[in-house]
């Protein structure tokens, strides 16, 4: 080792004594579907996060719609920036609650990998196309991406992630699909939907961080787009409370900074609310380990008051932003693109350039191909196959 510094001892993530008993400990992971040796300097969950960041599906998130179509503006959230915000909120909460931050980060970065182009419009259209072929669920698709669709390793398809990361990615799943997963993988990630138990607290945390993130950034993007205003949002108690609080502290503040300060205070209040509601639940249940936490009721939660306020905000955003005529108009075109792409590839599967069919069924191969597309690739493919440009 002449001339080289002495190697430092490996720093392998959170020490067991820093984690709560009910947290997921990487050394006690239920493991990977294809057994692998441990990495010398990273825990199993850190390695999962790194595999996700290096995946093709992750890079595509930058050109996938969250709410506003990708080409409508450079500052709106995309699936990528949304996922980063979920990871940031998730990690802060995980650290405070002594949960496994690395696992939370891995789940957060992967949670939207299965989303179609064009946001929920794309997903609804693909689900309709797949109605006679088992349907399309984006959570299940995220799992399919990390289990089968990614092509990175010589020995297996997918990323070969740990059980705990895959458990967190599969946020929802119909009973029929859970039964299919259970048949392939007995006692695996489909099981809890049949047993009606909870996922790990890290997985529960990511669901809440997702909700806190999109409620906040959809307000920001909605106001930026001009489709909703901060004035209008004063009808929503959760927003009005923090606008009032901000104006009490900074009476002359207006415009962008008033909006940001309102959102910032709202985010902090939700994070602290989750911490105190969760701490109370944990004090009551004191699960001895992660399996006991899976058997308990959902322990990562808002207080009832915050849950009601968050629901009211969601209702507002649904009525005034997601269902805004201007958003709906782009939705209709995006759905037409997906429907026509689906029909074109079903007629001529050889048009799916560079696609590796998994061979389950022709329709599922087409759904995998379309789901993997970015907004702009879908628009270009649609134009190539139909000669019409619907997304301008």
Residues forming contacts to Mg ion in the complex (CB under 5 A) are 112, 210
Helices (H), the chain: 44-53, 56-60, 79-96, 101-110, 119-129, 138-144, 163-169, 175-184, 191-195, 201-225, 237-249, 255-285, 290-295, 304-317, 325-347, 362-371, 375-386
The DSSP result for 18-81, as a single string, is: GS-TTSPPGGG---BSS--PPPSSS-HHHHHHHHHHTSHHHHHGGGSBSSS-GGG-SSS-BHHH
Q: How far is the CB of 94 from Mg ion (least distance, A)?
A: 17
Burial class (CB in 10 A: 0-12, 13-18, 19+), 10: exposed
Terminus-to-terminus CA distance in the chain, angstroms?
60
Q: Which is nearer to Mg ion, 112 or 309 (CB)?
A: 112
Residue 379: half-sphere exposure toward Cβ, Cα within 13 Å: 17
Q: How far is the CB of 202 from Mg ion (least distance, A)?
A: 16
Q: How far is the CB of 171 from Mg ion (least distance, A)?
A: 9
Q: Which is nearer to Mg ion, 167 or 210 (CB)?
A: 210
Q: How far is the CB of 111 from Mg ion (least distance, A)?
A: 6
Q: Which is nearer to Mg ion, 42 or 111 (CB)?
A: 111
Q: Which is nearer to Mg ion, 32 or 49 (CB)?
A: 49
Q: Which is nearer to Mg ion, 51 or 82 (CB)?
A: 82
Contact 110, 146 (CB under 8 A): yes
Q: How far is the CB of 66 from Mg ion (least distance, A)?
A: 8
Cα(326)–Cα(329) distance, integer angstroms? 5
Cα(141)–Cα(171) distance, integer angstroms? 11
Q: Which is nearer to Mg ion, 215 or 335 (CB)?
A: 215
Q: How far is the CB of 142 from Mg ion (least distance, A)?
A: 10
């Amino acid at each position: 080792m002449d001339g080289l510094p002495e190697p430092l001892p490996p720093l392998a993530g959170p020490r067991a004594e820093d984690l709560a008993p009910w947290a997921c400990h990487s050394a006690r992971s239920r493991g990977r579907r294809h057994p692998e040796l441990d990495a010398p300097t990273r825990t199993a969950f850190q390695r999962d996060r790194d595999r996700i960041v290096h995946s093709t599906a992750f890079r595509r998130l930058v050109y996938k719609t969250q709410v506003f179509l990708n080409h409508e503006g450079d500052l709106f959230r995309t699936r990528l920036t949304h996922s980063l915000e979920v990871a940031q909120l998730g990690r802060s909460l995980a650290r405070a609650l002594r949960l496994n931050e690395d696992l939370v980060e891995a789940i957060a970065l992967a949670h939207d990998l299965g989303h179609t182009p064009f946001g929920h419009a794309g997903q609804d259209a693909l689900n309709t196309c797949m109605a006679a072929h088992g349907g399309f669920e984006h959570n299940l698709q995220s799992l399919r991406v990390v289990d089968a669709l990614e092509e990175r390793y010589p020995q297996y398809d997918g990323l070969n992630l740990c059980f705990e990361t895959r458990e967190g990615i599969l946020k929802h799943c119909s009973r029929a699909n859970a039964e299919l997963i259970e048949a392939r993988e007995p006692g695996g990630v489909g099981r809890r939907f049949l047993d009606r138990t909870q996922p790990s607290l890290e997985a529960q945390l990511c669901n809440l961080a997702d909700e806190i993130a999109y409620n906040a950034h959809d307000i920001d993007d909605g106001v930026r787009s001009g489709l909703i205003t901060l004035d209008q949002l004063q009808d929503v108690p959760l927003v009005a409370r923090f606008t009032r609080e901000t104006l009490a502290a900074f009476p002359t503040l207006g415009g962008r900074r008033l909006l940001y300060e309102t959102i910032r205070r709202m985010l902090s209040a939700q994070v602290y609310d989750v911490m105190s509601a969760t701490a109370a639940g944990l004090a009551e249940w004191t699960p001895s380990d992660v399996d006991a936490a899976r058997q308990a009721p959902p322990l990562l939660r808002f207080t009832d008051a915050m849950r009601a306020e968050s629901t009211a905000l969601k209702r507002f955003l649904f009525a005034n932003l997601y269902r805004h005529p201007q958003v709906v108009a782009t939705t209709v075109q995006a759905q037409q693109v997906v429907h026509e792409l689906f029909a074109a590839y079903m007629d001529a599967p050889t048009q799916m350039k560079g696609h590796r069919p998994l061979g389950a069924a022709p329709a599922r191969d087409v759904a995998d191909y379309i789901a993997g597309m970015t907004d702009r690739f879908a628009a270009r493919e649609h134009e190539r196959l139909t000669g019409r440009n619907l997304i301008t």
